Amino acid sequence: MEPNWNRLDEHVKFYLPVVVAVALVSILITGLITAPVRRVKGYSPVQPVSFSHQLHAGQMRIDCRHCHLGVEVSRHATVPTTAICMNCHKAAATDKPGVIRLREAAARGETLLWKRVHKLPDFVYFAHLVHVQAGIRCDNCHGDVRRMDVMTQVSTLSMGACLGCHRQAHERVPGSQANLTGPENCSACHR
């Protein structure tokens, strides 16, 4: 059949640019939405008290589990209660402005309102305990906290990041068992 050159012209002059433009805009938008920065990788907000993990976990070598009580037994690692802070800070560094604010809050029976750094969507039911018990270390997801003066998110915490590790944990987690994998079905995390 003879090609319809008029139609072809119309296709080249009109439809092709439109399709290309739509495709480009889509790619751009998708790229923007899924960029690591949108995942808040590198997010390090200013906290109400300039608490330093570098000092506590790094220099003083306090174990993570000393303050994050729930990490081995609960879904949540849990932010320490003011009472836990005060265990040491009744005596330690009582002259620092942050500790003074902490003490005042504790005296009122209140808690400090920390800016949240790591957050998964509400429909994700991540459980710390299973991961810790499987031998995944804190720094596998949270980075080398012991060197962080200000807490920063280092992983994208995206579903891709989760699945990457669930598929081949032994490659991503140094020193883990050779056959370690996580479940990949939906209800493992979403319910």
Partner 1 sequence: MSPIGPKDLRTRTKGQQTENGQCVDGGERPAASYWRSLEDLSRTPGNEALRAMLADAIAIPPDPNLNRRRFLAVMAASLSAAGVGCGRFEDRGTIAGSAALAEGDIPGTPRYYASTLVHYPGCFPVIATVRDGRVVKLEGNSEHPASMGALGAFGQASTLDLYDPDRLRAPLLNGKDVSWEEADQLVRNHIESSSRAGKFTVLVTGPVVSPTAHSLLRLFTSAYPKTIHRILATLHDGERSGGRQLAFGTPGAGTIRWDLADVILSVDCDFLGSQGQPGDERAFSARRRPEAGAPVNRLWAVEAGLTLTGSNADHRFPLRPVLQPAFLAWLLGEVVLRRKVGPLAADGALTGLLRAALQGIAPSDFGMQPKATAALIDDLVKSQGRSAIIAGPQLPTSCHVLVAALNVTLGNEGTTVLPVLTRPGTDASTLQEWAEAAELMNRDRVGVLIALDANPVYSLPEFDIAHGLTKVPFVVSSSLLRDETASAAHLVLPAAHDLESWGDCDAHPNLLSIQQPAMRPVSPVRQSEESLLSWLGKDERPTPNYREYLKLRWTNEVYPPSGAAADFVRFWEAALHDGFVDIKTEALPSSTLSIPEVLDAVGRSTRKPDHGFDLVLCPSPRLHDGRFANNGWLQELPHPVTTQAWGNAAVVGPATAAALDCREGQTIRIKAGGASLDLPILVGPGVADKTVLVDLGYGRRAGGSVGTHVGFDAGRLRSPKGGVSAWLYTGVRLVAVRNREPIIRVQQHDMAEGRAFIKEATAHGTLLSVATTEHPHPPESNWEYNGHKWGLVIDLSACTGCGACTIACVAENNIPVVGPEQVAKGREMHWIRIDRYFSGPVANPAVAYQPMMCQQCDCAPCEKVCPVAATVHSPEGLDEMVYNRCVGTRYCANNCPYKVRRFNYLDYHQEVKSPKELVFNPEVTVRSRGVMEKCTFCVQRIAAGKQAARAAGRKLADGDIRTACQQACPTGAIVFGDLNDPESRVHKLAGSERGYRALEELGIGPAVRYLARIRNPHSGLKI
46 binds partner 1 (CB under 8 A): no
Residues 6+ apart with CB under 8 A from 106: 82, 83, 85, 86
List the structure tokens of 104.
Answer: 């005042």
- Which one among 129, 148, 150, 161 touches partner 1, defined by CB under 8 A? 129
133 binds partner 1 (CB under 8 A): yes
70 binds partner 1 (CB under 8 A): yes
Nearer to partner 1, 82 or 158 (CB): 82
List the structure tokens of 30.
Answer: 């998708």
Query: What is the chain's alpha carbon radius of gyration, rounded to the nearest angstrom?
Result: 24
Contact in structure between 56 and 93 (CB atoms under 8 Å): no
Q: Minimal distance in Å, beta carbon 34 to partner 1? A: 13
Q: Minimal distance in Å, beta carbon 116 to partner 1? A: 4
- What is the distance of C-alpha 70 from the center of its chain? 17
40 binds partner 1 (CB under 8 A): yes
Contact in structure between 138 and 83 (CB atoms under 8 Å): no
Q: Minimal distance in Å, beta carbon 179 to partner 1? A: 14
Contact in structure between 138 and 84 (CB atoms under 8 Å): no
The residue ranges that bind partner 1 (CB under 8 A) are: 38, 40, 43, 45, 69-70, 73-76, 78-83, 105-106, 109-119, 121-123, 125, 127, 129-130, 133, 183, 185-188, 190-191
